[in-house]
Structure 1
Amino acid sequence: MAGRVEGKVALVTGGASGIGRACAERLAQEGAVVVVTDVQDAKGAETVEAIAAAGGKAEYLRHDVTSEDAWIGVVAQVEARHGRLDILVNNAGIGLGGSVFDMSLADFQRQTAVNVDGVFLGVKHAIPLMRKSGDGGSVINMSSVAGLKGAPNLAGYCATKGAVRLFTKAVAMECANAKDGVRVNSVHPGIIETPIWDTIVGTVEPGSNAGPARPATLDAMAEMAVPLGFKGLPGDIADGVLWLASAESRYVTGAELVIDGGLSVR
């Protein structure tokens, strides 16, 4: 099925690499005009070039999701250039592993600023434009399996992703009460081949809910921890995001889409 988000305008934060890039490419492939935002300018430009080479439409904006002024500016640019916003993928995030007893307050707060404040600011400033557009919209907040289950040495990360999960549900109910047509859902990836694992591998214990990190490679981690026996790819998450962004999920709001190979229920 082609053109599942044809004519829609999508904003994807953290879209320069990993899951964000896969989401941007998938939405563009299915007809959306995609605004890719990140602080990785070179990689952001590469993502836009790749989308254009594949026949899609995209542009890149530098964007610090922890800054309210930056959010105001980005949403204003989206409105000025496209006149509407239909899809928001709050994907930007960082993962800092390590014992909570060793983590500095500065690192805890930095992780919270990106993973929680960034989602809050996205909702606060993007949904009004969706409402103004008149056709509702879809907000997809990137949480994690770590937002469903606790894990040793991932307390700070779990705290942020758990916050995203319940924040999503509360905002979904607020939009539903307003009858504004905006749906709000969260996605919960498991062990996916992305750069975020560079700061997590080696910090959690074998058999933990977030996945063991004693083995040297992500493949070994997945083989040990994931019931399906293998790691996921960014495209696996992008397919779920596309479904939530499309009219196929028109009756879905406040839900959590878990894409983890069975990791969270093991």
Structure 2
Amino acid sequence: MGKLNGKVALVTGATKGIGKAIAELMAAEGATVALNGRDAVAGEMIVKNILGQGQKAVFLKADLSSPEANHNLIASVIENLGGLDILIPNAGVLGLGSVTDVSIETWRRTLDINLNSVFYLLRAAIPHLKADGKSGSVVVTGSIAAHKGFPNHAAYCASKGALEALVKQAAVDYAPEIRINMVNPGPTDTELYKNSAVAFSNPETVLDKVPDTLPMKRIANPGEIAKAVLFLASDDSSWTTGSVLTVDGGASAAG
């Protein structure tokens, strides 16, 4: 028996990296998964692979930078899958640059995708997550950047810090019907992580040195983050809401 049998889950930013790993694990645990992303080719390929395993999934393309797109995405999930039990806002962008260097356009888009889209998704999804007396679960993908400064990551760090505050506030408002939690990954083997190297003064070598700074002496693979998300999405965490689960190989503990 899967941990998510009979559940409908929406995962945004699901065409690569952590989002892809989350979507695949949710499907393996019995959920019918709606994958969202901007890359339709990648999304449809992931769905094909999930269906080939005898599991259930659909792909819904959307750029989540506007309130309308988020509202329409939730409406599409309800129309296509008949309901919504689990929401995983995972889509994110880097938006690199210091306060004086980052463009206003980049600042706005970073907050639109990393922070505002989560607000829009919650606004649209909450009535469905608690419909008919059922109990819904939201797990937001954050970052240790909510608490740690990184060179030339002004918009990214700001968006993740604000996102954590939103998660805690919403958890208070919508308990006990809906549990809302957050996973803060540390260095993880994703395209976004690799792209972040250009923000540092030594982009050619900075990522090679990261494992030595971590107590675990390696970076994570996306599947390890997905397992933390599964815990918070499932009934295994039935008395957990407003919490932030840090999964960072000891990066935060080491300072």
Name the aligned partner's letter for residue 83 of structure 1: G
Name the aligned partner's letter for residue 185 of structure 2: P
Q: Is the 8 A contact 1:97 1:199 kept in 2?
A: no
TM-score after normalising by structure 1: 0.91
Show structure 2 runs of 5+ residues with no match.
Answer: none
Deviations 1:78-137 (A, max 9, x none): 222222211000000001223322111111111111001111111111111111143111
SS in 2 for 1:201: helix
Corresponding residue number in structure 1 for 2:110: 111
Show structure 1 runs of 5+ residues with no match.
Answer: 206-212
Deviation larger for 3-12 or 91-100: 91-100
SS in 2 for 1:257: strand
Corresponding residue number in structure 2 for 1:204: 200
The CA distance in 1 between the partners of 2:215 and 2:252, in whole Å, is 9
Name the aligned partner's letter for residue 189 of structure 1: P
1:163 is displaced (CA, Å) by 0.8
CA RMSD in angstroms comes to 1.5
SS in 2 for 1:91: coil
Corresponding residue number in structure 2 for 1:232: 220
Name the aligned partner's letter for residue 30 of structure 2: G
1:210-249 aligned within 5 A: 214=203, 216=205, 218=207, 220-249=208-237
Name the aligned partner's letter for residue 52 of structure 1: L
1:141-220 aligned within 5 A: 141-176=140-175, 179=176, 181-204=177-200, 214=203, 216=205, 218=207, 220=208
SS in 1 for 2:198: coil
Deviations 1:204-260 (A, max 9, x none): 36xxxxxxx645374x23323222110101101100111111100000000001110
Corresponding residue number in structure 2 for 1:27: 26
1:255 corresponds, among 237, 243, 246, to: 243
The CA distance in 2 between the partners of 1:221 and 1:19, in whole Å, is 22
Q: 1:203 to 1:50 in 2, by over 3 A?
A: same
TM-score after normalising by structure 2: 0.95
Deviations 1:42-69 (A, max 9, x none): 1111111121122211000011212222
1:71-82 aligned within 5 A: 71-82=70-81
Q: 1:133 to 1:222 in 2, by over 3 A?
A: farther
The CA distance in 1 between the partners of 2:245 and 2:214, in whole Å, is 17
1:150 is displaced (CA, Å) by 2.0
Name the aligned partner's letter for residue 236 of structure 2: E
The CA distance in 2 between the partners of 1:155 and 1:217, in whole Å, is 19
Name the aligned partner's letter for residue 205 of structure 2: A
Number of corresponding residues: 254
Q: Is the 8 A contact 2:186 2:247 kept in 1?
A: yes
Deviations 1:149-207 (A, max 9, x none): 2223212111000011110000000012xx4x1000011010001111243113136xx
The CA distance in 1 between the partners of 2:69 and 2:96, in whole Å, is 27
Runs of 4 or more above 4 Å deviation: none
Deviation larger for 252-261 or 100-109: 100-109
Name the aligned partner's letter for residue 260 of structure 1: D
1:48-67 aligned within 5 A: 48-67=47-66
Name the aligned partner's letter for residue 59 of structure 1: V
The CA distance in 2 between the partners of 1:29 and 1:262, in whole Å, is 28
Q: 1:45 to 1:265 in 2, by over 3 A?
A: same
